[in-house]
Structure 1
Amino acid sequence: MEEQPEITISTVDLAALELQIEKSNLPHDLVAALEDELARATIVKSKDMPTNVVMIGSQVTFKILASQKIFTKTLCFAHDIAKYDDSISIFAPIGSALLGLRTGQCIKWQTQQGLQSVEIIDVKQI
């Protein structure tokens, strides 16, 4: 498999994700994919997170390379979906792919439509 880009996750996001995974009834393949991402991440204190890295609560603009479609979404937990007009769950396949990426990075991620390539265009901490 092609090497995935480096990702950075805050200690706060990691702890929250681990708690949500424990409490959830998510499909095994989704949990396994998310745990694989977390295992390869560089973990840093929240105060040391670069501002251009996607975190839970970030508003991220990204492009699906195959279609060239651009989306702006706020990455959040499922229980916070109603808080944002543009929400996307961390547990959606594309949501999991976005976490920890920085502006300019691309990642390939398996979706229901097959393997997709996503490029991060912009990240805003809201």
Structure 2
Amino acid sequence: MMRPNIVVSSVDMDRLETLLDALPSAQSAARHALLEELSRAELVEPADMPPDVVTMNSRVRFALDQPAEEFTLTLAYPKDMRPGDDRISVLAPVGNALIGLAAGDSIDWTRPDGAAFKLTVLDVLYQPERAGELHR
């Protein structure tokens, strides 16, 4: 599986670790997937975040290859999810895949049903750090 380098801010890492510590055992698969991804991350301070990297609360345009579809969603914490919202939880497989990727990066990932897909970040339309929101 192709797994590019990822970059995560120290603020996001702290919040994601707190989230993972609080997850019930019923969500162990989601916890394991996100932990595995975060273990590969290069940690940077929010002020040093490259402007084209997907961070928490970033609005991202991305494509999936199976089936071929394009989406524009905001990467969110589970507590911020609303029905019918255009957000994706960082605990969802696609949310796991998005965190820390830069525009132009692709990653091979697996759905909960075991099917493989490739996700490509097309553009980071909004990033809190780029907008000066370093501790949102």
TM-score (norm 1): 0.92
Aligned match of 1:115: 116
Aligned match of 1:6: 5
Matches within 5 A, 1:41-120: 41-82=41-82, 85-113=85-113, 114-120=115-121
Unaligned stretches of 5+ in structure 2? 129-136
Q: Distance in 2 between matches of 1:84 and 1:78?
A: 14
Q: Which moved more, 1:18-27 or 1:53-62?
A: 18-27
Q: Which moved more, 1:20-29 or 1:114-123?
A: 20-29
Note if contact 2:2-2:107 (Cα within 8 Å) is conserved in structure 1: no
In the TM superposition, residue 94 of structure 1 has moved relative to its aligned partner by 0.6
Q: Distance in 1 between matches of 2:119 and 2:107?
A: 5
Q: Distance in 1 between matches of 2:59 and 2:84?
A: 10
1:81-115 alpha-carbon deviations (Å, 9 max, x no partner):
13993111001111011000000000011103511
SS of equivalent to 1:82: coil
Return structure 1 stretches of 4+ with deviation > 3 angstroms: none
Partner AA of 2:22 in structure 1: K
Counting aligned pairs with the same residue, the percent is 35
Note if contact 1:74-1:84 (Cα within 8 Å) is conserved in structure 2: no
Unaligned stretches of 5+ in structure 1? none
In the TM superposition, residue 32 of structure 1 has moved relative to its aligned partner by 1.5
Distance change (3 Å), C-alpha of 1:80 and 1:30: same
Q: Distance in 2 between matches of 1:93 and 1:66?
A: 14
TM-score (norm 2): 0.85
Q: Distance in 1 between matches of 2:50 and 2:66?
A: 28
RMSD: 1.7
